[in-house]
Amino acid sequence: MEQNTIKKIRNIGIVAHIDAGKTTTTERILFFSGITHKMGEVHNGEAVMDFMKQEQERGITISSAAVTADWKDHKINIIDTPGHIDFTLEVERSLRVLDGMIMLLSAADGVQPQSETVWHQADRYKVPRIAFVNKMDMQGADFFQTIEMMDDMLGANSAAFQIPMGKESDFKGIIDLVNMKAFTYNNMEVKMIDIPEDYLEISKKKRDLLIEKLSGFDDNLLEKYLNEKEIRVEDIKIAARYAILHLLITPVFCGSAFKNKGVRLLLDAVVDYLPSPLERGVVLGYDIDDATLTISRKPSYKRPFSAIAFKIINDPYVGQQTFIRSYSGELNSGSYIYNSTKQKRERVGRILRIRAKEREDMLSLKAGDIGALIGMKFTTTGDTLCDEQNQILLENIHYPETVIDMKIEPESIKERDKLGIALSKMTLEDPSFKVRFDNETEETVISGMGELHLDVVVDRLKTEHKLNVKVGEPSVAFRETITREVRHEYKYKKQTGGHGQYAHIEFRIEPNSGKGIEFVDNIKGGNIPREYIPAIEKGFRQTLEKGLLVGFPMLDVKFILIDGGFHPVDSSEMAFRLCTKLALKEVIKKSNPELLEPIMKIEINTPDEFMGDIIGDINRRRGKINNMRRYRKGSQKLSGFVPLMEMFGYASVLRTLSSGRSSFSIEYYKYSALPKSIQEKLVEKFSKEKK
């Protein structure tokens, strides 16, 4: 019974480039599965899944929304994700907890830049996928060219499970190559018919190609294919499921979600081909005390409870909702749970199943399911929740670096505390959004993934939190690092009458390329008591948060504590923390600090005739195009790298250079050292601003 219930769960995401039709497809799924009785549209701001005011105004998805639908005796948990690169963390954290995904592609545009980004994100988490070529009724729609692009650009090893009958305004139906039946549409009405005569030959040819490809993964199918025996529909489905679960092929389906064509067949494909939690198998984690010891959890109600928190939303009606994906065991409403990441005990007030805006109370959440918890006080995105007697630590979620800064302040001093509370809630919801306060300038600086990201944050402060704020111009989020190893010794002594302050440390700082901020305790023989070591680490980390060159956070620095001393009366945690901070400020110039700038990966789709001007312009921006490939007939896809500080206002420049016919996408790639001449000017500029 238990296994059968888990077997009928599908945790899927819908991912794509912006404007490929993700939310429209989800709205149709909700309608056809009976969750809604009216189809919401993105263009008129009525989409159920886009329930934030900012989403409705812009006609895009910003926050991934979770919804549960039922189809053919299966429970389908769907997460509709954003397509805009500024909200890439929403896709990242969704893929971390999903078992399968639908890759949506526009038949008119094919594989676009963000399509590649989300494809590679799914590769990182080894998520099985099916593809849906949407907008078959649009001008320029080409199903078979889109499949070619999937193979060329994504290495998808595509397999057409359906083919369209007609295209553009002549798109009238879909042929199912597995069942060898055709489907025609008249608004809501769908008819299954025999394949029309004029499509019979191509259908047989494409089905033969499909069986030939699948027979490479299934001996039974191969034997029947080679001996020309009858091949049953079930034979094809068994071979296809194996190939999809092992990421060997990508089955491709087609339709037009806006015109209600192909969505019900897509739901059938989700049930038939995407994996249940059982098929995804055990989840691996680590022992809380020993990271080298792996622990597994099988998707079963009888195993100890384990789950990961993948999203937090502050709801004005029910408070903070913590979305979790359960991997094993059973969690009951009103019970206690252990946060092994924070090492804190939490009480579960309520468990909700979310249907976008609607909420449904649940008595329990079981293995393989997705739900939202009310009452979590300490849990943040990426935290592991588990049974306190059987602790496990699951792999956290990958967070990208922020690349854009903006100064922000309330219109009046009275609203400063209110602004701080609002920003704190928003950083809890979105780990790709960061806030820091500069004590010297008394300015609050917010950081995000792009201009649209920060624009939405400011809009939410005004609408949701009723705050009038003043903001500065967006600026590049620079970082600092060191390039030379330095050994240093420092004593901190202060007498104030009565107890004084004393701390003595000897340490080494060195570059830690690509490994982040690291603290190593090499103290031998108790020269510094154990209780003071955390204070030294705290002083080190706090100092690096503000930087030591001009005040930007530092990256890739290793601190090795070698020796030191203490006073039995005058030493304290505060003394060691201050000692560390002062020592680092004293030594920083010897470590040859440098400024780092964010380098962005850029992809430009352009007609051939504009290539020369576009490449020349990128070169002038200190960028480099390192790859060109055919995108469509007469068009090229250019890809390369360019510093973010050179890209402000680029959209209007590209429009001018290409008469509005080129498009581009950028995403964060890495931080890299600034050229010396530019660094010197910036250091001088920032130093003057500090005075």
Rg (CA), the chain: 28
- Predicted local distance difference test score (pLDDT) of residue 690: 65
Distance set, CA 235 to CA 8, 45, 231, 242 (Å): 20, 44, 6, 11
CA 484 to chain centre: 34
The type of residue at 40 is G
Is residue 125 within 8 A of residue 395, CB to CB? The reply is: no
Helix (H) or strand (E) holding 3: helix 2-7
The type of residue at 55 is E
Is residue 506 within 8 A of residue 616, CB to CB? The reply is: no
CA distance 157 to 629: 19
Contacts of 540 (CB under 8 A, 6+ apart): 519, 559, 580, 584
Helix (H) or strand (E) holding 271: helix 263-273
Other C-beta atoms closer than 10 Å to the C-beta of 460 total 19
CA 376 to chain centre: 22
3-state SS class at 281: coil
Other C-beta atoms closer than 10 Å to the C-beta of 536 total 26
- Predicted local distance difference test score (pLDDT) of residue 43: 41
The type of residue at 617 is D
CA distance 324 to 254: 32
Place of tokens 């001009």: 550
Residue environment code for 647-669, b if the CB has 16+ CB neighbours within 10 A, otherwise e: beebeeebeebbeeebbbbbbbb
Pairing of strands 319-328, 593-607: unpaired
CA distance 642 to 629: 18
Backbone phi, psi, residue 373, to 5°: -105, 140
Count helices and strands (H / E) in the chain. Answer: 18, 38
Is residue 212 within 8 A of residue 159, CB to CB? The reply is: no
Please, what is the end-to-end C-alpha distance for the chain in angstroms?
Answer: 71
SS (H, E, C) 200-247: HHHHHHHHHHHHHHHHHHCHHHHHHHHCCCCCCHHHHHHHHHHHHHCC
Is residue 143 within 8 A of residue 149, CB to CB? The reply is: no
CA distance 484 to 138: 58
- pTM (2 d.p.): 0.73
3-state SS class at 431: coil
- Predicted local distance difference test score (pLDDT) of residue 441: 62
Q: Which residues pair with 348 in a beta bridge?
A: none
Contacts of 93 (CB under 8 A, 6+ apart): 64, 310, 311, 381, 382, 397
CA distance 476 to 547: 16
Helix (H) or strand (E) holding 544: helix 533-546
Of the candidates 95, 73, 395, 100, the residue with the CA atom closest to the CA atom of residue 277: 100
Residue environment code for 25-52, b if the CB has 16+ CB neighbours within 10 A, otherwise e: bbbbbbbbbebbeebbebeeeebbbbeb
Other C-beta atoms closer than 10 Å to the C-beta of 19 total 18
SS (H, E, C) 593-622: EEEEEEEEEEEEEEEHHHHHHHHHHHHHCC
- Predicted local distance difference test score (pLDDT) of residue 528: 92
Burial bucket for residue 273 (CB in 10 Å: 0-12, 13-18, 19+): buried
Is residue 128 within 8 A of residue 102, CB to CB? The reply is: no
Is residue 359 within 8 A of residue 344, CB to CB? The reply is: no
Ramachandran category for residue 524: left, alpha or beta (phi over 0 → left; psi -120 to 50 → alpha) = beta
What is the block-wise mean pLDDT of the chain (691 residues), using blocks of 10 residues?
A: 81 81 82 69 44 38 60 86 52 79 90 79 88 94 93 92 94 95 90 94 95 94 90 94 95 94 95 93 86 87 91 76 91 93 92 76 91 89 91 78 84 85 83 76 80 82 85 87 94 79 94 90 86 94 87 92 91 94 89 92 89 94 90 82 90 88 83 92 81 59
Backbone phi, psi, residue 6, to 5°: -65, -35
CA distance 272 to 72: 10
Burial bucket for residue 223 (CB in 10 Å: 0-12, 13-18, 19+): exposed
Burial bucket for residue 136 (CB in 10 Å: 0-12, 13-18, 19+): buried
Dump the DSSP string for 17-61. Answer: STTSSHHHHHHHHHHHTTS-SS---TTTT--SS--SHHHHHHTS-
Distance set, CA 464 to CA 216, 301, 314, 446 (Å): 55, 39, 10, 18
Rounding to the nearest 10 degrees, give the CA dihedral for residues 679, 684, 688, 691. 90
Other C-beta atoms closer than 10 Å to the C-beta of 349 total 13
- Predicted local distance difference test score (pLDDT) of residue 678: 92
Question: Helices 533-546 and 573-587, interaxial angle, to 10°?
Answer: 40
Other C-beta atoms closer than 10 Å to the C-beta of 676 total 10
Of the candidates 364, 368, 376, 363, the residue with the CA atom closest to the CA atom of residue 320: 376
